[in-house]
Amino acid sequence: MSIENQIIEALEWRYAVKKFDPTKKIKQEHWKILEESLLLSPSSYGLQPWKFLVVQNVALRKQLTPASWNQTQVEDCSHYVVLATLKTITEDYIGSFIQSTAETRHMDVASLMGYQKMIIGDLVQGPRSKVIEHWAQKQSYIAMGNIMHSAALLKIDSCPMEGIDPKAYDKILGLENTPYASAAAVALGYRSSEDKYQLAKKVRFPKDQIIKVLM
């Protein structure tokens, strides 16, 4: 099948799985691709203000369930990924990113000073600093889109999980007293044949209400 058709087929095939088949696990070869989809996600300035916690511990998943509106996906999916994002962006963090850039690209840190100042001016001193937690969370939603798209292409099901209690998650996952906080999660695995939602038609507003071309 052409890549064009594969993309359309994957996007139409995907839906937010309500009931996963707990016996089906993502194979290692595919999980590696999903990990790369997170790691290679775009983010503003390339700052990657995130950590991805893959909760495979059964006891931890059980604890997360009541903090997730008791949704069964948490325990039944193959891989449960919690997106945690920075609560604040510090000059130190930006410095470590600039350092990483210089090392990766064999550049002198001094040559990146202007860029570093610009990022600090925007995120530490500028108006965005007032909503920086939201800014960081937004970046993680790009990664969310990325991993679910890759998953669908691999015929791996997913469910984005926003109905979570971030504070309870932080406690259970040991994020309290760290610079990171839980933002959202993505459950990945395989749909149960009993999940009736796989048969439901996708609900979308008409295209002419959503996309407007300004010619």
Site for a second copy in 126-185 (CB under 8 A): 131, 134, 137-139, 141-146, 148-150, 153-154, 160, 162-163, 173
Write the CB contacts of 50 (distance below 8 Å, at least 6 apart in sequence). Answer: 43, 83, 84, 85, 86, 136, 139, 140, 143, 180, 183
Question: Per rule CB under 8 A, is residue 208 in the interface with a second copy?
Answer: no
Residues 11 to 70: which contact a second copy by CB under 8 A?
11-12, 14, 16, 29-30, 33, 35-42, 44, 46, 48, 50-57, 60
User: Could you tell me the smallest distance in angstroms from the CB atom of residue 115 to a second copy?
Assistant: 11
Q: Are strands 157-161 and 79-86 parallel, antiparallel or unpaired?
A: unpaired
From 206, 209, 211, 195, select the one nearest 77 (Cα to Cα): 195
User: Could you tell me the smallest distance in angstroms from the CB atom of residue 192 to a second copy?
Assistant: 19
Q: Closer to a second copy at the Cβ: 40 or 109? A: 40
In this structure, are residues 55 and 61 in contact, taking their beta carbons and an 8 Å threshold? yes
What is the C-alpha to C-alpha distance for residues 148 and 60, in angstroms, rounded to an integer?
Answer: 23
User: Could you tell me the smallest distance in angstroms from the CB atom of residue 143 to a second copy?
Assistant: 7
Question: Dihedral, CA atoms, 101, 104, 106, 112, nearest 10 degrees?
Answer: 0
Residues touching a second copy, count (CB under 8 A): 72
Question: Per rule CB under 8 A, is residue 214 in the interface with a second copy?
Answer: yes
Residues 101 to 130: which contact a second copy by CB under 8 A?
101, 104-105, 122
From 192, 175, 194, 164, select the one nearest 80 (Cα to Cα): 164
Question: Per rule CB under 8 A, is residue 89 in the interface with a second copy?
Answer: no
Question: Per rule CB under 8 A, is residue 7 in the interface with a second copy?
Answer: yes
